[in-house]
Chains A and B, each alone.
Chain A
Amino acid sequence: MWQEVRSELRPKGLEIVTVALDVGGVEAAGKFIDRANAEHPSLIDAQHLLDELFGVVNVPSGIWIDEQGMVVRPPEPAWPGRAVFQDFIPKELPPDADPWVVKALALTKRIRHDPKRYMVALRDWVERGADSSYALAPDEVVARSRPRTRESAEAAAHFELGQHLHRAGFADDAVPHFREAHRLEPDNWTYKRQAWTFADPLQRPNEVYEGDWASDVEKAGPENYYPPSDI
């Protein structure tokens, strides 16, 4: 997906690094990485370190880092010129489609995204560097990163215990920690979707978690699923 962007911008000094937030590790992310067959580094983050270290709460999220290793844009929704999730919406649904799926697709259509503007901004930064109006000053980067509240820090600690236990083969013991992470930071979609996937691959209602993708997105409002981009 990003390979095309990489081919265009790598000669101009941009490298792309993709990071799969997947507790399932290679088993979960490997086949997608193989299919993408990208030339750029494609990493696997089984612990969701990007949540804790950068304040990522949803995917896709892009972070810009300059030549000196300074973040010039904190995490925000990032698109390779098109919103990939829209590709999965079928034009027509069979009349007997699962009502939950129907609802989930209707919500997906209402998710806010502006993929064209993201690429305009990215190209501008690659071209003009620090002179680009999209490159933010250090104070601004810090101020625009997620608030780190006591609750969000505790959510990170619970999620870390959850993923650790899950990967160590104690999936049941991981659940209370995942549930705590969801309660403490309800707008962190990576914590929710990761755990829901273990209960139901489609993130439908299940007996392990109160939430599911469609119900929680509906509750939050699909227009809030991604933060408003100011790019």
Chain B
Amino acid sequence: MILDSLDVDVSSFEIRTGWAIKPQGACKAEMCVEMPEGSDSPTIDGRILAKRLGMPLVPDTTHGLWALGPETLGRALSSAEAPELILPDRGGIEFRLSSLRGLKVLLLAWASW
């Protein structure tokens, strides 16, 4: 997740990474990782997220940006529950993977290169 400030907006964080900040901690699928007290504010310190979830926080000093990388909890898929994926089609219309619940889905990655 690209950050231009270390105050991470909790709702954008959830949309981008699937980690929801709840009273019991940062939660994704059936997992919860404890967070410090008072995490009911709309932002959370990126350094705390990085530390608790094992996410690398990589700076780009020239542009005043950081990238908060994925959690390191063992595997790329920390749960078999498919993460939400929201991507545009060719015309820029957003499509949600979760809109296909009830069907089997073959998700295919390809590239022009």
Given contacts A43-B95, A74-B77, contact A64 B104 (CB under 8 A): yes
Quick one: which of A125, A142, A203 contacts B113, CB cutoff 8 A? A203
A153 near B69 with CB under 8 A, answer yes
Quick one: which of A24, A125, A196, A197 contacts B104, CB cutoff 8 A? A125
B110 near A52 with CB under 8 A, answer no
Given contacts A49-B85, A160-B67, A161-B65, contact A19 B77 (CB under 8 A): no
Of B54, B70, B88, most A-chain CB atoms within 10 Å: B70
Q: Report the bound CA distance from A68 to B80 in whole Å.
A: 11
Instruction: Answer yes or no: B74 CB below 8 A from chain A CBs.
Output: yes
Number of interface residues of B (CB under 8 A): 52
Number of interface residues of A (CB under 8 A): 82
List residues of B (80-111) whose CB comes within 8 Å of A's CBs: 80-83, 85, 87-90, 92, 95, 97-98, 100-111
Q: Report the bound CA distance from A44 to B2 in whole Å.
A: 19
Instruction: Answer yes or no: A209 CB below 8 A from chain B CBs.
Output: no
Q: Report the bound CA distance from A183 to B100 in whole Å.
A: 37
A148 near B113 with CB under 8 A, answer no
Closest to B83 in A: A53
Contact with B along A114-150 (1 / 0, CB 8 A): 0000000010011001000000001101110111111
Quick one: which of B62, B68, B112 contacts A29, CB cutoff 8 A? B112
**Within the complex, what minimum Cβ distance (angstroms) separates B2 from chain A?**
5
Q: Report the bound CA distance from A34 to B77 in whole Å.
A: 32
Contacts of B6 in A (CB 8 A): none
**Within the complex, what minimum Cβ distance (angstroms) separates B6 from chain A?**
14
Instruction: Answer yes or no: A45 CB below 8 A from chain B CBs.
Output: yes
Given contacts A22-B113, A59-B111, A197-B113, contact A65 B105 (CB under 8 A): yes
Closest to A139 in B: B80
A-B contact pairs, 24 of them (CB 8 A): A15-B100, A16-B106, A17-B97, A18-B110, A20-B112, A22-B113, A29-B112, A34-B90, A43-B89, A44-B87, A50-B85, A54-B77, A56-B109, A60-B110, A61-B108, A67-B104, A71-B81, A78-B106, A141-B80, A145-B76, A147-B76, A152-B76, A154-B69, A160-B1
Given contacts A49-B87, A71-B82, list 18 more A-B pairs with CB under 8 A: A19-B110, A22-B112, A22-B113, A24-B112, A28-B113, A44-B87, A50-B85, A52-B69, A56-B109, A59-B110, A65-B107, A69-B81, A70-B82, A141-B77, A145-B75, A148-B72, A157-B58, A161-B2
Q: Which residues of B contact A (CB under 8 A)?
A: 1-2, 18, 54-58, 60, 62-63, 65, 67-83, 85, 87-90, 92, 95, 97-98, 100-113
Q: Which residues of A contact B (CB under 8 A)?
A: 2, 13-22, 24, 26, 28-30, 32-34, 41-45, 49-50, 52-56, 59-72, 74-75, 78, 122, 125-126, 129, 138-139, 141-143, 145-150, 152-154, 156-158, 160-161, 164-165, 170, 173, 177, 190, 193-194, 196-197, 203
